[in-house]
A and B are shown apart, each in its own frame.
Chain A
Amino acid sequence: MGVGGDAPGFFTSRLSDGIAWARKWSLFPYPFVTACCGMEYMSVSAAHYDLDRFGAAWPRFSPRQADMLLVVGTISQKMAPVLRRVYDQMCEPKWVVAFGVCTCTGGFYDNYATVQGIDRIIPVDLYIPGCPPRPETVLDALMKLQAKIQKQRHPLIGAVRNAGASAS
């Protein structure tokens, strides 16, 4: 029954599930809002769509207190290193959501100023398409992220890993 080992026993996997359950219902988002998608983000987090139902309503404006990086809006080449720094400043465990087509692929800004997808800079857990995505899409994405978190392994020591991912 190795704690944090690759073949968890009954106790550690129960513990991991419990931690996952706690984590997926208390996601503290860091909204990295740069462009028009921000309006939609405001709409999702306001009372009508109410992100709080998923425990993800309390934006932390310090990356050190956040565990979900919501990248909302166009990322320009000059903004890219700042986004990278914000990601690096976040403590593990952390998840990244690319909100809107600009962050997924650069969208229609196929030009000299825009980063063609934030996955050129940081790893992304979830892509939300749409320009901007409808609030329902965002809620759906949040539920998918929760499902993903539940499936991941949450050892007491060490980084969060994808369940079933090859042990490397």
Chain B
Amino acid sequence: MTDATGENPLIGRLREQFGDAIVETHAFRGDLTVVVVPERYHDAARFLRDDPECSFDFLADLTAVDRLKLKQKPRFEVVVHFYSREKNTRIRLKTRPNSDAEPSVQSLTDLYPAANWPEREVFDMFGIRFAGHPNLKRILMYEEFSGHPLRKDYPVNKRQPLIEERPVPDDRLGMTF
């Protein structure tokens, strides 16, 4: 589905709205990808959710890519998949945090509560921080774990310390996960 210029109308609409903040776009048979600068990432997500033409009301997934071995700059890329229940369309929003040493982007938890755990997982596995996240701590690994295992420079057979047993978090007891 393309308009007169050969561009997907949804991407055209985003380009109209965000202009130079859009770094890259890609569309292939309804599989849309938009890369935005990290400064406008949160705005873009809000626009995708609130704009009646878009109405991407469902955050399907949030993950990240370490592009170290691809020799691309900046190194990290946060990838978010949105779905519109109303229009039955999908879009992929990407952003590349500026700093490789301390990558950080805005958290989407205020827009989509579903972003909470995926953002914690991305923090756990890649060490990307999400500014404004209510509870940014490790979700899968334990506190004693050092490093972020899905970073491409994490040694694959690095050993971690054995840990003590600790109580299973139980929200009925007022413990947070």
Contacts and interface: CB of A to CB of B under 8 A. Distances in A.
Interface of A: 77-78, 80-82, 84-85, 110-113, 115-116, 120-121
Given A110-B156, A110-B157, A115 B162 contact: yes
Contacts of B177: none
Interface of B: 141-142, 145, 149, 154, 156-160, 162-166
User: Which of A77, A81, A82, A110 gathers most chain B CB within 10 Å?
Assistant: A77
A80 B142 CA distance: 12
Nearest to A78: B142
A13 B160 CA distance: 46
A115 B159 CA distance: 9
- Provide the main secondary structure of the chain A interface: loop
B70 to A, nearest CB: 22
Nearest to A85: B165
A80 B157 contact: no
A112 B162 contact: no
Contacts of B141: 112
A95 to B, nearest CB: 22
Contacts of A78: 142, 163
